[in-house]
Amino acid sequence: MNGQHTIGVTVNGTQHERAVEPRLLLSDFLRHELGLTGTHVGCEHGVCGACTVLLDGAAVRACLVFAVQADGREVTTVEGLDRDGTLHPLQQAFHEAHALQCGFCTPGFLMSLIPFLRDHPDPSEHQIREALSGNLCRCTGYANIVTAVQRFAASTAAASANAPGGGRP
Out of 72, 83, 98, 102, the residue judged to bind ligand FES by CB under 6 A = 102
Helix axes 143-159, 89-96, angle to 10 degrees: 130
Instruction: Decide whether 91 or 156 has the Cβ nearer to ligand FES.
Output: 91
Burial 28-67, CB ≥16 within 10 A → b, else e: bbbbebbebebbbbbebeeebbbbbbbbeeebbbbbebbb
Q: What are phi and psi of 43, to 5 degrees?
A: -85, -30
Q: Which stretch binds ligand FES (CB under 6 A): 6-14, 36-44, 67-75, 155-163?
A: 36-44
Q: Which stretch binds ligand FES (CB under 6 A): 37-45, 83-91, 119-127, 160-168?
A: 37-45
105 binds ligand FES (CB under 6 A): yes
54 binds ligand FES (CB under 6 A): no
Residue pair 4/23 in contact (Cβ under 8 Å)? The answer is no
Binding residues (CB under 6 A) for ligand FES: these are 41-44, 46-51, 61, 63, 100-105, 137-140
